[in-house]
Structure 1
């Protein structure tokens, strides 16, 4: 294991442990108390807290899917280890985000809701919604398949159905390069979303988790750039 991969592996484990601790804290907060008997507010359906939880759960699901695909399409241990770390970490975080929605009594899916609307609604002066398509080097409104697979807009950095099909059919170095490029775009979009929650969310455990996502995914972006360079390739855009 290379030093950077080792650091990434430990970072993923630490992220999972912290995530579980945050989830425990959120359970107390969202059930009406802070451990001292004081009541705390529960987020509403159109809040930044709920919107981030819903959107990032979908975003994470695609990262897990892509990571499992590439593990079957290459024998390269560096890429397979990275894919495992990403799948493991993001699956755990996704479970937490969906768990919070359950604890808050809020829906996991809101019919007709535009992805990332929570950023615009919570910070209209920041231009978050109008400009989020630039993150990840791709237009968030491009592609035929939406975030929920039923049409509509893609969230920042998410791969299209055609790109996922290409990854499923690739093998060896081609699969490694495509995965690293797609995941680089995906992480850039994820970082932008998590930064939004870190600045807007008022539930401290969720805000802390979002900042942890920013830190971990920025580190993985550096690693993926190195892995692409070793394969004579570079990030897209």
Structure 2
């Protein structure tokens, strides 16, 4: 009578099967990790261009907000200015951190702002660096104003600043690779559109 495989043989067969199973699983995990590995954008990509340009755009919003904080005692304007300065300073830090992580320069010489959006001339009106950004003359006027005059000027300048920022963030939503940066851009669109409505109401209350 022919006997089947012994206990030792079954143990060996089981060991081989488990080894093949684990090897296949390890291969699948490794493949998945390669597929999900962070992608490094090119220096002329929408991802890098947005991070650079929005960092500059945000920096001016932070500066304007600190200026008006010292030029008025109105709590609603000071609170709005604090929120904008805090939010945009944090977002700016994130975007500059991404550029560092990608090993890309924070400034790109010889390339106009917003070229990544397909805009031939990155600057806005009256010599502003980008659409929505205040000119040097407007920044000087804000520094010299006080009280209600400073509040109205800040709200008007920041409204235009937000409109330019929304336009740029929408560009990233359309052109940036899926991921945290595009999610951040969509968050900027939502938050700044909401603040535009808030500032319109604040301007109406000031008869502007």
**TM-score, normalized by the shorter chain, greater than 0.5:** yes
Q: 1:68 aligns with which of 57, 63, 66?
A: 66
User: Normalising to structure 2: TM-score of the pair?
Assistant: 0.81
User: Normalising to structure 1: TM-score of the pair?
Assistant: 0.72
| Dislocated runs of 4+, deviation >3 Å | 33-40, 130-133
Q: What is the root-mean-square deviation of aligned Cα atoms in Å?
A: 1.9
Contact 1:53–1:101 (CA under 8 A) maintained in structure 2: yes
Gaps of 5+ in 1: 1-32, 121-128, 134-139, 147-153
Q: Do residues 185 (structure 1) and 160 (structure 2) align?
A: yes
Distance 2:60 2:199 in 1: 17
Q: Do residues 216 (structure 1) and 200 (structure 2) align?
A: no
Distance 1:157 1:186 in 2: 4
Question: What count of residue pairs does the alignment treat as equivalent?
Answer: 178
Taking structure 1 as reference, are residues 35 and 64 closer, same or farther at Cα in structure 2, changes over 3 Å only?
farther
Question: Which has the greater radius of gyration?
Answer: 2
Taking structure 1 as reference, are residues 34 and 64 closer, same or farther at Cα in structure 2, changes over 3 Å only?
farther
Higher relative contact order (CA 8 A, sep 6+): 1
> After the TM superposition, which of the residue ranges 106-115 and 49-58 deviates more from structure 2?
106-115
Contact 1:49–1:203 (CA under 8 A) maintained in structure 2: no
Distance 2:182 2:64 in 1: 26
Contact 2:48–2:99 (CA under 8 A) maintained in structure 1: yes
Gaps of 5+ in 2: 1-29
Alpha-carbon shift at residue 36 of structure 1 (Å)? 3.2
Q: What residue number does 2:4 align with?
A: none
> After the TM superposition, which of the residue ranges 106-115 and 33-42 deviates more from structure 2?
33-42
Alpha-carbon shift at residue 37 of structure 1 (Å)? 4.5
